[in-house]
Structure 1
Amino acid sequence: MEYVELRISLNDDFHELLIAELFDLDFEGFEQDDDLLIATIPTQRFDDSKREEIEKLLMKFGGESSILSEKIIPDQNWNETWERTIQPQAIGRFYVHPTWSTTDSDISDKIELMIDPKMAFGTGYHATTRVMLEWLPEVISEGDKVLDAGTGTGILAIAALKLGAESAFGFDIDEWSETNAQENILLNEVDNFEVKLGSTEVIPSGEKFDVILANINRNALIELIPELLGFLKEDGKLLLSGLLEEDEPVMLKQEALEKLTHLDTRRHKEWIAILFEA
């Protein structure tokens, strides 16, 4: 699959805000370097109207914000790119690293997560993934059944299993996700994690889960939540992210979520995660 790469000049204070908008436009990969944001999207999902929409968004940020360049990148170049940019990192109780990195000698107090990404999202670098990982030890209980909506690299479900969850089911609408999650399942030697390509229709009929994780974006969450709640057990927990601070009141007013108890909201930079209980 070919990808379009946009190199965008933008003050780094606004990167997270623009990334949130680009997620809604189907962009999948991001790399940040000072005042440069590199964003990628499958070629078939990009057109002139999206380019114009991005240019309008950049006008809101003012200054020298602009699209510097646009080029086509073959799929086979992605692994080389991530190997240069993805580095090990400690996130809460976890130590996240790719297979090509050297493991720090002193991680005895950490839970190791070995993640080889095919795309940038789901590596732990994005604030939404970080806040979810940091919160998971308080959310997951021994023996839980977990549903991971929009599983990406599978990092959240794998983390849940390493915290003692009994099983996990993940789904994602992107083809790369199913393959990548399967690879990461093998790398981490976790059992009972099933991944399917698709949306809620691929969730086994009649299944109920103790915890549902959904790190996507506001619009997708609003659309999915009514269906997802049909798979949540009584007293089950729903942990949402992919949300900006300004999205919190919008989410809390959703009719489906008003039936749940809002337990807490946590923040990392401009991003938030929200925890509910049935």
Structure 2
Amino acid sequence: MKYLKLVIQIADEYQESLIAELFDMDFDGFEQRDDQIITYIQKEHFGISDREHIDMLLAAYPGDGFIESEEVVADQNWNQQWEETIKAQTIGRFFIKPTWSQEVVPQDKILLEIDPKMSFGTGYHETTRLILELLPNVISDDDFVIDAGTGTGILSIAAIKLGARHAFAFDIDEWSISNTEENILLNNVNHHIKVEKGSSEVISEKNTADVVLANIERNTILDIFSDLDAALKEGGTLVLSGLLEKDKASIKSVLKEKYQIIAIPQENEWIAIQAKKAES
């Protein structure tokens, strides 16, 4: 069977969004390398209109995105190849592994068993790691947590395993919703997490969350900030990520009137912001 291998040049912060689009176009397997996505599609399923559609998608992102293509003859399971690149890892108090990993969970770590449909939310990205490292100091027993842009559900699952009572997770992508539902079952926390497709308009409970988590890019955070703020009760904790160091000033300006910034950890060019909502 003949495949086309595509190498797409795109900045790291935009890769998850583009992968979701390519997934819907029947691409098989995704590998992320710095500022590149490598993916495959059966040659017979890729036409001129598909190439034009990808060019249009890339035009919506900053930079000089380009595509290199190469025909390959193979009888391979590209998703299996990609799965083999996902290894178990320790992040703070958590040990994260896919179900196909045979690695033993260290005795002092909390297991998060995550099978990703695509590569976002595995814990490999800096933004996910930054929040996971903050969570043990954020979550208290019996907390109600809102997880905006849940991805694979990893943050909601981690919060419940740290003692939170209930989590409400939402995402605009259908693949994320189905993947989150699968992962909460894997971790036996399905009775504690509600998942819904949509953006912040699906938040029905106001001023009730003890913790709001949002691992989303800056523009989306700014767009839905008023809804996230309305959902968080006074004295509650807001944790934001998906942010670059250059985003710090714009996010701090939104937080300054109601929030006290507790911590801004950084890994490479990525940051997270932990802030406490003021009490009147």
User: Residues 149-173 of structure 1, C-alpha deviation per residue, up to 9 Å, x if partnerless?
Assistant: 0111100010000001111000000
Which of the numbers 9, 13, 22 marks the counterpart of 1:20?
13
Q: Which residue of 2 aligns with 1:67?
A: 67
Question: What is the aligned partner in structure 1 of residue 63 from structure 2?
Answer: 57
Contact 2:206–2:230 under 8 Å retained in 1: no
Match of 2:122 in 1: 123
Out of 42, 45, 55, the residue aligned to residue 48 of structure 1 is 55
Aligned in 2, Cα 1:239/1:39: closer, same or farther, shift over 3 Å?
farther
CA contact (8 A) 1:149 1:170 kept: yes
Q: Which residue of 1 aligns with 2:153?
A: 154
Partner of 2:96: 96
Q: How many residues align?
A: 251
SS of the residue corresponding to residue 84 of structure 2 reads helix
> What's the % identity of the aligned pairs?
49
Match of 1:198 in 2: 198
Shift of 1:91: 0.6
User: Counterparts in 2 of 1:1-278, with a 5 A limit?
Assistant: 6-8=6-8, 18-22=11-15, 26-28=18-20, 31-33=31-33, 37-38=37-38, 46-52=53-59, 57-58=63-64, 67-69=67-69, 79-104=79-104, 107-190=106-189, 191-206=191-206, 208-254=208-254, 258-278=257-277
> Residue 86 of structure 2 aligns to which amino acid in structure 1?
I
Q: Which moved more, 1:213-222 or 1:193-202?
A: 193-202
SS across alignment from 2:233: strand
- Listed as ranges, the gaps of 5+ residues in structure 2 are 24-29, 41-49, 72-76
Q: Is the alpha carbon distance of 1:79 and 1:46 closer, same or farther for their aligned partners in structure 2, counting shifts above 3 Å?
A: same
Q: Distance in 1 between matches of 2:250 and 2:116?
A: 31
Secondary structure of the residue aligned to 1:117 is coil
User: If the length of structure 2 is used for normalisation, what is the TM-score?
Assistant: 0.80
Q: Give the RMSD, CA atoms, in angstroms.
A: 2.9
Q: Find the aligned partners of 2:167 and 2:19 in 1 and give their Cα distance.
A: 26
Query: Which structure: larger Rg?
Result: 2
Q: Flag structure 1 segments of 5+ consecutive residues without an equivalent.
A: 10-14, 60-65, 72-76
**Contact map agreement 1:27 1:39 (CA 8 A) in 2:** no
1:161 alignment partner, SS class: helix
Q: CA deviation at 1:273?
A: 0.2
Deviation at 1:238, TM superposition (A): 0.4
